[in-house]
Amino acid sequence: MAKRRKSKKPAKKTTAKKSVKKMVKKAKGKVAKAKSTVKKAKKMIKRGVSKAKSAVKKTKSAVKKATPRAKKTMASIGQTANSMLDTVTQVTATAAGIVVGTVQGVAGSSQPSSDEMEEGTGEETSGGDEFGTGGPADSSSDMED
């Protein structure tokens, strides 16, 4: 006896149609998802470019604002330095004036002035010039020779 072969049952048409429909539906879903992903990517790129442009614009405006601000600050520092220099100069001049006055006061008390010499003795001093250096007196007649 020969073995009988089991025959395959033919696939139901409805099952085949359903599986094809499922595959098409999945494919359409994947395509739609891919399209939305591409749209999102494009939006992200546009946002990135826009943010980069705005950052460049902000940087340029900051640089433009910084230059005058720096100049103003430097001018203020310069004015402060000038006023300090003027103050130091005034203090130095005052100190020098005090020293000169003190020296003149001390020198004047130990040596009689030329006015006191003429009035007090009544005679002309020989052997000194008008500055009291002690050198020989110059006369205009000596120069003519």
pLDDT tens, residue by residue, 75-119: 899 889 999 999 999 999 999 988 888 888 887 765 555 555 555
- Residue 134's pLDDT is 54
Under a CB-based contact definition with an 8 Å cutoff, are residues 137 and 128 in contact?
A: yes
- Residue 69's pLDDT is 87
User: Degrees (nearest 5) of the Cα angle 81, 87, 89?
Assistant: 100
- Residue 90's pLDDT is 92
- Residue 63's pLDDT is 86
- Residue 113's pLDDT is 54
pLDDT digits (tens, 9 = 90+) for 41-74: 889 999 989 999 999 999 888 888 888 888 888 8
* Residue 71 tokens, joined: 């100049």
For the ranges 20-24, 97-101, 109-113, 122-126, the one whose mean pLDDT is highest: 97-101
In sequence order, the 6+-apart residues with CB closer than 8 A to the CB of 87 are none
Q: Radius of gyration over alpha carbons of the chain, in Å?
A: 56
User: Using CA atoms, how far apart are residues 35 and 26, in angstroms rounded to an integer?
Assistant: 14
- Residue 92's pLDDT is 92
**Over 60: is that where the pLDDT of 32 sits?**
yes
pLDDT digits (tens, 9 = 90+) for 134-145: 555 554 444 444
User: Using CA atoms, how far apart are residues 121 and 44, in angstroms rounded to an integer?
Assistant: 110
Is the sign of the CA dihedral 133, 137, 143, 145 positive or negative?
negative
For the ranges 3-12, 22-31, 45-54, 122-131, the one whose mean pLDDT is highest: 45-54
